[in-house]
Structure 1
Amino acid sequence: MKRALVWSGGAMAAALALAACESPGTTTGVVTGAAGGALVAGPPGAVVGAAAGGIAGAIADENAPRFRTYVVQQQHPSFAYSGDVVVGATLPNTVVIYDVPPDYNVTTYKYAVVNGRVVLVDPTTYRIVQIID
């Protein structure tokens, strides 16, 4: 078990180093995903969450405040979700998801408001890929 924990920590460091070379949004996604994965499944979950959180095509860090403001102005109702709102969580397909405006260059994902939080969602799986705080 100790080896698995050391490996997980090494994998996490590698993921963070790789993300640092990518866009700022990817770095945030990796860190957020790792934290969410660790909450759900411990150290192995952190590695999986980091990988999922670093998904390309998400909202870049510099656009996050503007995107959040846009979503708040839309006044969409918040979906009440009983689980943890973390990257990698699968939402029920009853959650209403909305298109991301073209100026954010996000074509793969849609967004939703869940428990008052703005999240990007993979529309084919309803998995949360990014949380916009």
Structure 2
Amino acid sequence: MIKRILIVAAIAALPATAFSQSGPTSGPIIRDPSGGSTRDPALAGPMMFGPALTRDPSGGTMIADHSAFRDYVMSQHVRSYHVRQPVEVGTVLPARGVTYHAVPDAYGAPGYRYTVVNDEAVIVEPRTRRVIEIIE
């Protein structure tokens, strides 16, 4: 009888321990602009959270035609968000206050998002809000 109670208690405790952690637990720790820090699972290797996003393996650009994409973004009248820090590749954008839009398939970066920050169009990895390309 006691064995059954212990087994039931152990099984009941499993979901609580599995979901007790908040946020990603893999990847290096990066600074979040909101003042805290977060782990960046995109830098940890193969993803467990949905399909992995692809990137040019040579580390080059995601968008094949920058001028056409910039024209597309400007035609969408996307509001520019302003952040205090300079925006560069690797910058993690704030979790609140920024709206991200899907990059159309025609521009060759499916799964990624774009927004305008400090009057510059940027491509963002959606899970981490990390800037991966600045469109000039």
TM-score per shorter chain, which class?
0.5 to 0.7
Instruction: Identify the structure with the greater helix proportion.
Output: 1
Q: How many residues were matched structurally?
A: 79
RMSD after superposition:
1.9
| Higher strand fraction (1 or 2) | 2
User: Does residue 101 of structure 2 align to residue 98 of structure 1?
Assistant: yes
Residue among 119, 125, 133 paired with 1:122: 125
Q: Is the 8 A contact 2:102 2:111 kept in 1?
A: no
Q: Return structure 1 stretches of 4+ with deviation > 2 angstroms.
A: 54-57
Output the CA distance in 2 between the equivalents of 1:55 and 1:121: 15
Q: Distance in 1 between matches of 2:59 and 2:128?
A: 14
2-structure distance, mates of 1:56, 1:97: 22
- SS at the partner of 2:72? helix
> Of the candidates 64, 67, 79, which is equivalent to residue 66 of structure 2?
64
For structure 2, list consecutive stretches of 5 or more residues without a partner in the other structure: 1-57
Consecutive unaligned residues of structure 1, counting only runs of 5 or more, are 1-53
Q: Distance in 2 between matches of 1:76 and 1:87?
A: 20
Larger Rg, first or second structure (1 or 2) = 2
